[in-house]
Amino acid sequence: MSDQSPTQNPEAVAALFKAYDVRGVVPDELTPEILYKIGRALVVHLKPDQVAVGRDMRVSGPSLAGALIDGIRDQGADAVDLGLVSTDALYFAVGKYGYPAGAMLTASHNPGQYNGLKLCREQAQAVSLEHGFGEIRDLVVKGDFADPADGRRGDLIERDILDDYAAHCLSLIETAAVRPLKIAIDAGNGMAGETVPRVFRHLPCEIVPLYFELDGTFPNHEANPIEPENIADLQRVVVEQGCDFGAAFDGDADRVFLVDERGRFVGGDMTTAMVAVKMLARNPGAAIVYNLICSRSVPETIERRGGRPIRTRVGHSYIKATMRQEDAVFGGEHSGHFYFRDNWYADSGLIALLTVLELVSEANRPLSEVLAPLDTRVRSGEINSEVKDPAATVTAVEREMVAQGAEIDHLDGLTAQFSDRWFNLRASNTQPLLRLNVEADDQATLDRTTAEILGMVRGDSGAETGG
């Protein structure tokens, strides 16, 4: 192991930059010195005159945000300090007020010892490895920054945006249609504890709050609602207190997952289908984007409602780019990310929740009954397997599926479709893993197909690393 600090080790610094964000353990991997350099590099590459900066409730947030802001200012740009905000509120600020760049200090759903950074350009467009992130990384690794030509140090401007953000979210639904429903909301000690009250004070609903206190140590459970153990409290409270449904947010509150009135988990693809119903009622014939892991029921629902379904790869950069190209009103992912054209094509779990709230209110039926005609199949969820040679394994599986007469495509990994089932098998970008998702028309077919594919993937040596 190297004796160099993270700041001095170029490989360690470069490794912090993932496909869409910076992520690392503080202070072993991510330090204020690195955030300072990112601030300077961001200004050098994007050349903004102002950068909006937000942070979530993590313990390391103030020191890292302070270093980032110093870097931005030392490179000659103004830093607009938004303080404690959700990630979707940061996107809102960049879009609404016309800032040329934004930076959000967050590690999303990761445990408390992590922190990270998400960057965006004007109109809340994501900065990813395909669009500027690699150049910023290389500048940080090099660490050699010339002072601004005019010698000016940028100003520090403080701005409270959360009331404006709440008004924006509410403007995207018909608030008069919302009935006085009882909703349990688990903020996971994350930023939803700050944003949800700002919105729901204007609605007639009764909120049963779970863990609304901002606490970056996550004393109750990790703020990662896709893991079953992290929504167990929400499921229990929904049933015990007779709630109409429940919602759980991740740490930076840009993702949301729902549970119905019986406490049953609702997948992100089924939430996509429900939001699509409402968006198409408001925008007849519109295009709606969904990723290829979503249930077949999603494009079927869109088509039945007169919309135009568009299938994309997994990942927010692909979804957002496709939405802009197709002028899509909405996009959804199985992972709980939901994107709205009228939100600068950015994701917002809160707007998705409000849209479902409006749909359930208008239907005047329980969430399970609203969902029943849309949710007609069974799914495996994502199953991860560690393999020595992912590419060779996928090739072998494809060969067998072709022999069985499957319809094959390679939009993202391998997708094999039959009349009564389909699966997608794709490699992780960062680990020697294959990720399997299976859907079938009935449980027996699902079980048989899942066992068949896992048998080919794992052989005698494959190991499951999570479901």
Nearest-angstrom CA–CA distance, 82 and 91? 11
Residue 77 placed within a domain:
yes
Residue 5 placed within a domain:
no
| Residue type at position 55 | R
Instruction: Give the bridge partners for 54, in sequence order.
Output: 83, 104
Of 342, 371, 400, which residue is a domain's last? 371
Task: State residue 463's pLDDT score.
Answer: 42
Residue 42 placed within a domain:
yes
Residue range of the domain that includes 305: 268-371
Nearest-angstrom CA–CA distance, 321 and 343? 14
- The percent of residues above 90 in pLDDT, for the chain, comes to 90
Q: CA dihedral defined by 249, 250, 251, 252, rounded to 10 degrees?
A: -80
Q: Look up the pTM and report it.
A: 0.94
Of 201, 234, 261, which residue is a domain's last? 261
Q: Is residue 466 very low, low, confident or very high in pLDDT (cuts 50, 70, 90)?
A: very low
- Neighbouring residues of 335: CB distance < 8 A, sequence distance ≥ 6: 226, 255, 268, 314
- Would you call 60 a catalytic residue per the annotation? no
pLDDT tens across 1-44, in order?
445 566 678 999 999 998 889 999 999 999 999 999 999 999 99
Same domain, 109 and 246: no
Same domain, 188 and 115: no
Main-chain dihedrals φ then ψ at residue 177, nearest 5 degrees? -85, -15
Residue 127 placed within a domain:
yes
Residue 4 placed within a domain:
no
For range 282-311, the mean pLDDT: 97
Q: How many domains does the chain have?
A: 4
pLDDT tens across 109-126, in order?
999 999 999 999 999 998
Same domain, 302 and 386: no
Q: Is residue 129 very low, low, confident or very high in pLDDT (cuts 50, 70, 90)?
A: confident
pLDDT tens across 213-254, in order?
999 999 999 999 999 999 999 999 999 999 999 999 999 999
Task: State residue 7's pLDDT score.
Answer: 67
**Rounded mean pLDDT of the chain?**
94
Pairing type for strands 383-386 and 78-84 reads unpaired
Q: Are the C-beta atoms of residues 108 and 252 closer than 8 Å to each other?
A: yes
Residue 3 placed within a domain:
no
Measuring CA to CA, which residue among 57, 90, 51, 86 is closest to residue 71? 51
Selected catalytic residue, list 108, 297, 348, 385: 108
Same domain, 351 and 399: no
Residue 44 placed within a domain:
yes
Of 354, 371, 388, which residue is a domain's last? 371
Task: State residue 168's pLDDT score.
Answer: 98
Q: List the CATH number of the domain containing 279.
A: 3.40.120.10
